[in-house]
With several copies, the nearest count.
Chain A
């Protein structure tokens, strides 16, 4: 049976891609950010996941307003990124896991999640940057990927509770998969930031810190907020913490934080990183 080895949540700021390309890991601006990742690299080297199930949000690459899904899931043999408008570097195609995708789709639709299924799908920096952060220097990715996209573009967004429940259902579905797989669950985005409006530049360290402190042990604390409340607390793009809630939901049951990092600012954003494992309280 498949087993969830842990959950990783990380920011996905586009500027990180350029910093990786220019090898700025020791640059004073970037060092406090990149220094968060080696413990996660060591953990990944130890647990050796076969598959990454990644909750992320598309930023206007694969989806436009003519067909904007609340929840979309990939069921493609591989996933490519592409120019997002500012010539982002392309990465090697990420291999998919179609049988696992279809297993998840069967289970989730059976649990009344109204998915949009994507047998071909471009993935943007919100997926590729976390992958590059977690498996640096990969010419060939050591994991297969199943992307799950949550709408943050067009309001109404799914509620935080709905995203958390989606994650829980994904977790149950993974654990019901008959193949002997080690699965890492990833949530990308956040933490607090706002790009648009007179409130641009908004960052809320106090909220982020409490959110990270509570996520493993008390995920419902954040899941109970409304979308409008979360936008007020974390900014229009800080709402990407929905991905963190979904990943935490997928981890299921009781969990503990193994490692975390938090640094302000990267670009306009409060950058966060967490590694959680299942654990009795």
Chain B
């Protein structure tokens, strides 16, 4: 495999290395395009995760609703967004959680970027 071309702080490109790690998790999240599957996940999260063969690390990251851990376990942001939807988290919630700040502070940072 090629080494990563460039190190970008706070950023992991979803390349082959991540894809190999995250397949089960991403496949589960892709299934959440269907409302029926989302309901099933909510009804019995353990059974649903088991059916998709999540690794222990992935299962734990889902349990903790921890976005950085989900990414580290190979999650792809495009599929994780569907899990976030189930959990009622919007992209500012996700941003605040990942940057270790409050939602209000995160939103203020976004506004400040326009200054």
Contact = CB atoms under 8 A, between A and B. Distances in A.
B99 to A, nearest CB: 6
Given A197-B71, A228-B5, A61 B33 contact: yes
Contacts of A86: 81-82, 85
Interface residues of B, number: 52
Contact of B2 (A106, A229, A231): A106
Interface string A172-210: 000000000000000000000011111111110100000
B1 A103 contact: yes
A102 B16 contact: yes
B78 A265 contact: no
A139 interface: no
A232 interface: yes
Interface string B99-115: 10000001001110110
Contacts of B5: 226, 228
Most buried by B among A83, A87, A103, A268: A268
Contacts of B11: 194, 196-199, 231-232, 236
Most buried by A among B11, B26, B81: B11
Contact of B15 (A85, A101, A156): A156
A270 interface: yes
Nearest to B4: A228
Interface of B: 1-2, 4-6, 8-17, 19-20, 23, 26-27, 29-30, 32-35, 38, 67-68, 71, 76-83, 85-86, 91-92, 94-95, 98-99, 106, 109-111, 113-114
Contact of B98 (A59, A85, A155, A200): A200
A39 interface: no
Given A64-B30, A105-B16, A198-B99, A264 B110 contact: yes
Contact of A64 (B2, B10, B27, B110): B27
B112 to A, nearest CB: 9
